[in-house]
Amino acid sequence: MSATLSFTAPTEHGPQDITLAYARVGAGEPLLLLHGIGHHRQAWDPVVDILATEREVIAVDLPGFGESPALPQGLPHDLPTTNAVLGAFCAALGLDRPHVAGNSLGGLLALELGRQKLVRSVTALSPAGFWTQPERRYAFTVLAGMRRTARSLPLPLVERLSRTAAGRTALTSTIYARPGRRSPEAVVAETLALAHAEGFAETLRAGRSVLFTDDVPGIPVTVAWGDRDRLLLPRQGIRAKHAIPRARLVRLRGCGHVPMNDDPALVARVILDGSRGPEASAPGTSLSAVGS
């Protein structure tokens, strides 16, 4: 079920009225899904039905992305503000410490929610924030280039390109290892989402100073990285493991930066395993997950 929710978030800049779009499906313990910069909640579509067999799944458009409007004027799209908004969003929906899984920017947000003890478990897929400064500059340059391209392409051209595997590769190979598997309709929708994302520039600007070095104690944490990630290089997963020593580190073979479409069954299994508690996410465990 797709919906919008208006609520008041207690930010560092005072109470603010916020509206977020989201989709909710399934039954069980709640699982919040957070997408990356320039994307939208539909990035999770390939895994939602699998996850919904065991969890109540809530996929949300982050502020200024997808169908969610940007934050109110003067409110920064930074980590503290966005996490305050997400905490208030969960409270407004009646979610008591949900599990959370996030990709890229969403992975960073998920880890911060975990550090604040606002969630039961964290699964972070190629999370932002474990970069060196040269790696960050490279990723931000690529993202800015993708944004310029998305904004410059006429819709008829995007639609024409999306109809062939070669065209989908040209449009999305930076984030998918297997772009031909993405449906034409999804490629058009996410290209438009990137082009029209109101929060893109401010979110990217706020990320320049982000470096996640804190531990996330007391809850199960899984950090998973596609071994074909071309945006945030897989070696950043090792830094995440050093910062969060008790985390389970998983390699997603054959997957790119947004792995949910590259291998939905594998990604869903990793998320569900990570949300089943300490017995499923043994502290300090490192493993390689084998994709198809």
- Amino acid found at 184: P
Task: Name the E strands within 146-285.
Answer: 221-226, 248-252
pLDDT band of 97, cuts 50, 70, 90? very high
Domain segments of the chain as ranges: 2-131+210-289, 136-202
Distance between CA atoms of 140 and 210, rounded to whole angstroms? Answer: 12
Q: What is the DSSP string of 18-49?
A: EEEEEEEEE-SEEEEEE--TT--GGGGHHHHH
pLDDT tens digits along 37-81: 999 999 999 999 999 999 999 999 999 999 999 999 889 999 999
54: Cα within 13 Å, side-chain hemisphere: 12
Does domain 2-131+210-289 sit in CATH 3.40.50.2000?
no
pLDDT at residue 287 in the model:
44
Mean pLDDT of the chain: 93
Q: Is the dihedral of CA 252, 257, 259, 260 positive or negative?
A: positive
pLDDT band of 281, cuts 50, 70, 90? very low
The mean pLDDT of 229-241, rounded to a whole number, is 97
The mean pLDDT of 199-228, rounded to a whole number, is 95
pLDDT tens digits along 98-144: 999 999 999 999 999 999 999 999 999 999 999 999 999 999 999 99
CB 129 within 8 A of CB 45: no
Q: Which helix (H) or strand (E) holds 88?
A: helix 79-93
Tokens of 255: 């997957």
Task: Name the E strands within 94-237.
Answer: 99-103, 122-125, 221-226
CA dihedral 9, 11, 15, 20 (to 10 degrees): -30
pLDDT at residue 277 in the model:
63
Cross-strand pairs, 102 = 34, 124
pLDDT at 280 over 90: no
